[in-house]
Amino acid sequence: MGILNVTPDSFSDGGLYFDKEAAIAQGEALAAAGADIIDVGGESSRPFSEPVPEDKEIRRVIPVIEELAPRLSVPISIDTTKARVAEQAIEAGAAMVNDIGALRGDPDMAGLVADADVPVVLMHMKGAPKTMQIEPQYEDVVGEVKNFLADAVHRAEEAGIKRKKIIVDPGIGFGKTVTHNLRLIKELWALKSLEVPVLIGPSRKSFISKILDPENESREIGTQAVVTTAALNGAHIVRVHDVERTRKTLKLVDAIRNSVISDRSEANKVHSQ
């Protein structure tokens, strides 16, 4: 999933694609680099960010989606917590909703997703972007996030959303310390029992620079290390800024993983003979 922030203040690329034409060009570039989904958002969810009024969010994302949708062969996701934004985005050509509020931010969102019959990402977040990084605490971060996501899946199904349309996201960096993030990545396999696809979005997050250093290049190198670990631990979708580099990373991960499977198959073939 390639990230396309049509915002002036996102933590990594704020302002770079705020202009409509720049955003469209970047969306096409992400698809050309190998993105399977383009995630378009008009409201920053970086720590301590202010919420964006609904009408302003619509003005940011809808013209971009209208232009991009007919040009791309891959689906567009709308990154929003607001039902009216999601509705207009779907009408403009979006085929998926990425809701960091897990359907809790807008009482109309669950019904909209159910009626539109589109996939939805349900993410864990402790608090709201403005407050989430103020001393977040957990007794068992993996267990608590898993239970939250299980409840979110249940609520979605109760609202009429098909289970096969549901994706979960543990919310790396959303109300978590460095240690919390590392535990979730290490034990991502624990979400397998939810029996829905898992998305993870570690791209260029601050926990990486806190371990390495604050330089942007280190954040991208660190992102690839996290993507590798997440893929090996069960992630189905990775949400990233640098699609081209991530495709190469995942190609190597798949080659390593598939070579183990091939080796076992060959060993079984020899043993059976």
Nearest to 123 by CA among 195, 179, 189, 200: 200
CB 105 within 8 A of CB 130: no
Calpha distance 234→185 (Å, rounded):
10
Question: Taking the domains of the chain in order of start, what are their residue ranges?
Answer: 2-244
Instruction: Fill in the amino acid letter for 175.
Output: G
pLDDT band at 27 (very low <50, low <70, confident <90, very high): very high
Query: In three state form, how does the secondary structure of 133-189 look?
Result: CCCCCCCCHHHHHHHHHHHHHHHHHHCCCCHHHEEEECCCCCCCCHHHHHHHHHCHH
The tens digit of pLDDT for each residue in 138-175 reads: 999 999 999 999 999 999 999 999 999 999 999 999 99
Give the Cβ contact number of residue 157 at 10 Å: 15
pTM of the model: 0.89
Residue holding tokens 């996201």? Answer: 169
The tens digit of pLDDT for each residue in 91-127 reads: 999 999 999 999 999 999 999 999 999 999 999 998 7
**Adjacent-strand bridge partners of 78:** 40, 97
The tens digit of pLDDT for each residue in 223-243 reads: 999 999 999 999 999 999 999
What positions carry a catalytic annotation? 205, 239
Residue holding tokens 């800024």? Answer: 241
Calpha distance 250→231 (Å, rounded):
8
Q: How far is CA 242 from CA 22, 41, 69, 238, in A?
A: 16, 16, 21, 11
Superfamily, domain 2-244: Dihydropteroate synthase-like (3.20.20.20)
Percent of the chain with pLDDT over 70: 87
* DSSP-based three-state secondary structure for 11: coil
